[in-house]
Structure 1
Amino acid sequence: MPAVGPARTGSFDAAVTGIGMVTAGGVGTTATWDRVCEAAGTAAREVPGLAGMPVGFACVVPDFDAATLIGRRKAWRLDRSNQLAIAAAAEAVADAGLVPSAWDGARVGVVLGCGLGGAGSWEKQYDVLREAGPRQVSPTLIPMLVPNMSAGYVAMEIGARGPNMVTATACASGTTAVGMARELLRSGACDVVLTGGTESCVVPSISTGFSQMGALSERHEDIARSSRPFDARRDGFVLAEGAAVLVLERQADAEARGARVRARVSGYGASADAYNATAPDPEGAGAELALRAALADAALSPGDIDHVNAHGTSTPLNDTMEARLIRRVLGDRPSVTSVKGVLGHSLGAAGAIEAAVTVLSMEHSFVPPTANLESQDVEADIDVVAKAGREGEVRAAVSNSFGFGGQNAVLLFTAA
């Protein structure tokens, strides 16, 4: 493995001052955290819209009332991925104790990750086109489907007039977004950045596409145990939707206004496998570059890492590769968990959700268990937390994300 290049001069900590989450675990950060800590099986259910598809179940957000949360007039013209992002952002801003009407919007940025954009709106309107003709297609189709609109609509909600973008690195998108947001603070381009990810594509075309690749679990007879990261009997991931938004500020700025700093983003690394369109490099050579880059960026050594929030998709190839990577670089010391056992795989939002859970693990000194891990794969020779959560101080943790195209992104968090 080639040596990682020199770390950037001087460490930089971005303070996490707010969190908002909307996931299959529930609406709101508390609901998601509680559901993840229970690890009472996969939060999946049969989805009527997937009836007749090869896989008819998925992890969807329960009891999400967009009309109540963001207003009926706004909700009707937004794709569900936009709705989830706005709801998560509103919670994050309130949690940070910030008042949008009082800030300088030109100094506030938004960076969200999204892999597929408004897939649900696109599919629905294509059906309209085929069945009723072009004049019945909604004039809001384009702003509903293009991926950048989640960040755009969040900015409109809160008056954020600084840099505004969506990162699209497949299932690493949310993690990439947080890394890019930190750079906006480091460069001085922004004073506050809302960052994270959103995805809602539990629709027939996307579900079938993944199914045809052999990527989805087909455990129809036992949906509650369908997602089982690092388990010897895992058979694929469970498609999910969700969103998570973190508020980032410079450490000094957060302290100056008396904000609660929940944790710090102290390192970030990214790389490409340059190996295969859909399969990870079996040895994780590219992923190792990202992990070592995050360590170097934070000026920490492998022995400093207490915990890993794994990508842990419940697919045979990913989990084996990631376990080898963790063992090779970090050894057997850090505790490892994957929240996908509960929440499923929300694609472009997954890294953001997992970053938020990592922060909560540090804050609560508690690592949630990996759901459905009954018989750990012998090739996953790492300390995966299972059956019950584990109490203990988490001073430094990494959150891994990997995606199609060989995308790798790793965030390193340190305790506040």
Structure 2
Amino acid sequence: MTETKSATEVWITGIGLATSLGEGLEAHWDALNQHRVNVDEKGFAPCIVHPLAPLSFDAQIPKKGDQRQMEAWQRIGTYAAGLALESAGVKGNAEILSRMDMVVAAGGGERDLAVDSNILSLEAKGNSAPGFLNERLMSDLRPTLFLAQLSNLLAGNIAIVHGVTGSSRTFMGEEAAGVDATRIALARIAAGQSDIALIGGSQNGERKDLLVLYEFGGFNLKEKFAPVWGRSEHGGFALGSGGAFLVIESRAHAEARGARPFARLVNVVADMARRKQAGDVKSTLEKLWTQLGKIGDKAAIITGATGAEPATSEEIAFLKAHAELPVRATGTMFGHTMEAQFPLGLALAAMSLSRGRLFPPDGQSAIEVEMSQSPSQIVVIGTGHWRGEGMALVEAVK
């Protein structure tokens, strides 16, 4: 079990969101309060996805050449990162950006479907000489590809476009990568190794290759959309397109530059249950809960629960043991953004705490109930669809 509890007070001072619900904090807050869900049941039938809302990428990636050399997941992430820097008031500040750490959670990137299809077609027709595959890969793929794009290209593009040139780390590992990106960034600031960091991730869920990949494991939600808590008979996740980035920094650093906090990031804990026996996930979540710190009576939970089984049923069992706390599931509104799901939960937690109100429940499940009082704490939970568990404690700053 890994734990990062900060002795140095760490503030969340910037939030950047670009998802299926829109871009920016106001658009997301309005969508959450109006119960808007953007779902495509036909474009990738029978699989269901939450498509990215229309964006003008020029607003955060002004050079067309930069946009052209990125695939969609990089454009989404670079855009969201720009929004976070703007939100924190550091965009264009070369002195701060030059020493800002960056910790990104990223997948393997997108495949070139045209190349894949051509190779498979020629192979099926028997038109492939010895060495055919290597020849095609060397001549048809761009230098930045190794069947799929390099995971650290997102961090590279953020550095190029926005000038974030401090240390850079990229974590792979699906949902757990988002947890560890947050945990490591917090640990560095707590240890005095960093003053300010940009953390987050992105995903393009509108990818046939990704849908095929997860279909092999039986993870895709198909045929008809349902809220996360109502998928037990047809368990699975609906992939979502989106990027979520945050700027976190020590309180001293933020105050020195006159920055105001959205919330305080208190602690991040992570583990990986063996998942060999029923109850392993619930047991691990309970252990993580005890490591977070004191949870008061004005707390709430935001979870990235996927809808995939059996992990979601075990998470529900855990949540029922803490039924006194209101719960919200990001997967219902945003779909499952994989590496970005935990940063997304952190962003919504910070936004809710700064506004003194938790956004409304989905209205279709007994698990989600109204919260009349202002939350003082929000626990963000990330339970991977097949491995990895994590939690973060986020508190209001008075």
Please state which band the TM-score falls in when normalised by the shorter chain.
Answer: 0.7 to 0.9
Q: Are 2:100 and 2:195, in contact at CA under 8 Å, matched by a contact in 1?
A: yes
What amino acid sits opposite 1:127 in the alignment? S
Aligned to 1:17: 13
On the 8 A contact 1:306/1:333 being kept in 2, the answer is no
Match of 2:116 among 121, 126, 129: 126
Residues 167 and 370 of structure 1, relative CA distance in 2, 3 Å threshold: farther
Deviations 1:220-275 (A, max 9, x none): 3xx4xx33325666632211121111001101211222111110100110111022
The Cα of 1:144 is off from its aligned counterpart by 7.3
Residue matched to 1:45: 40
Tell me the equivalent position of 2:31. Answer: 35
Once structures 1 and 2 are overlaid, which stretch shifts more, 338-347 or 202-211?
202-211
CA distance, structure 2, for counterparts of residue 212 and residue 5 of structure 1: 31
- Counterpart in the other structure of 1:117: 108
Contact 1:22 1:244 in 2 (8 A): yes
Q: Report the TM-score, using the length of structure 1 for normalisation.
A: 0.82
* Alignment match, 2:131: none
**Could you say which residue in structure 1 is the equivalent of 2:310?**
317
| Superposed counterparts of 1:129-144, under 5 Å | 133-134=136-137, 135-142=139-146
Three-state SS of the structure 2 residue aligned to 1:367 is coil
Sort the Cα spacing of 1:106 and 1:144 in 2 relative to 1 into closer, same or farther, 3 A.
farther
Offset of residue 177 of structure 1: 1.2
Q: TM-score, normalization: structure 2?
A: 0.86
What is the CA-CA distance between 1:217 and the residue it aligns to?
2.0
Whether the aligned pair in 2 keeps the contact of 1:169 and 1:176 (CA below 8 Å) is no
How far is 1:325 from its partner? 2.0
Provide the C-alpha distance between the structure 1 equivalents of 2:274 and 2:350, rounded to a whole number of angstroms. Answer: 31
Number of the residue aligned with 1:273? 273
Alignment length, in residue pairs? Answer: 382
Shift of 1:311: 2.3
Paired with 2:158 and 2:145, the residues of 1 have a C-alpha distance of 18
Q: Could you say which residue in structure 1 is the equivalent of 2:194?
A: 190
The CA distance in 2 between the partners of 1:273 and 1:323, in whole Å, is 16
Counterparts of 1:165 and 1:343, CA distance in 2: 26
User: 1:92 aligns to what?
Assistant: 84
Structure 2 residue 285 is matched with structure 1 residue 287: yes
The corresponding residue for 1:174 is 178
Q: Which residue of 1 aligns with 2:206?
A: 202
Q: Which residue matches 1:413?
A: 394
Q: Distance in 1 between matches of 2:222 and 2:266?
A: 39
Asked if the contact 1:230–1:319 (Cα under 8 Å) also holds between the matched residues in 2, the reply is no
Give the structure 2 partner of residue 379 of structure 1: none
Q: Single out whichever of 192-201 and 302-311 deviates more from structure 2.
A: 302-311
DSSP 3-state at the match of 1:107: coil
Give the C-alpha shift of residue 58 in structure 1.
0.6
| Structure 1 pair 129–232 and aligned structure 2 pair: CA distance change class (3 A) | closer
- Distance in structure 2 (CA, Å) of the matches to 1:5 and 1:346: 23
Q: Distance in 1 between matches of 2:249 and 2:393?
A: 16
Pairwise mapping of residues 10-409 of structure 1 onto structure 2 (< 5 A)? 11-40=7-36, 42-46=37-41, 48=43, 50=44, 54-55=46-47, 57-67=48-58, 69-70=60-61, 71-114=63-106, 116-119=107-110, 121-127=111-117, 133-134=136-137, 135-142=139-146, 145-220=149-224, 223=225, 226-229=226-229, 235-276=235-276, 281-282=279-280, 284-293=282-291, 295=292, 300-303=293-296, 306-328=299-321, 331-371=322-362, 374-376=364-366, 383-385=367-369, 390-404=371-385, 406-409=387-390
Identity over aligned pairs, percent: 21
Question: Could you list the per-position Cα deviations for residues 13-61 of structure 1 after superposition, in whole angstroms to 9, with x for gaps in the alignment?
Answer: 3111110001111122322232222223x4211464x35xx42x31111
Q: Which amino acid aligns with 1:400?
A: I
Residue 380 of structure 1 corresponds to: none
Q: 1:125 to 1:227 in 2, by over 3 A?
A: farther
Segments of structure 1 that go 5 or more residues without pairing to the other structure are 377-382
Cα shift at 1:162: 2.0
Q: Which runs of 5+ in 2 are unaligned?
A: 123-135
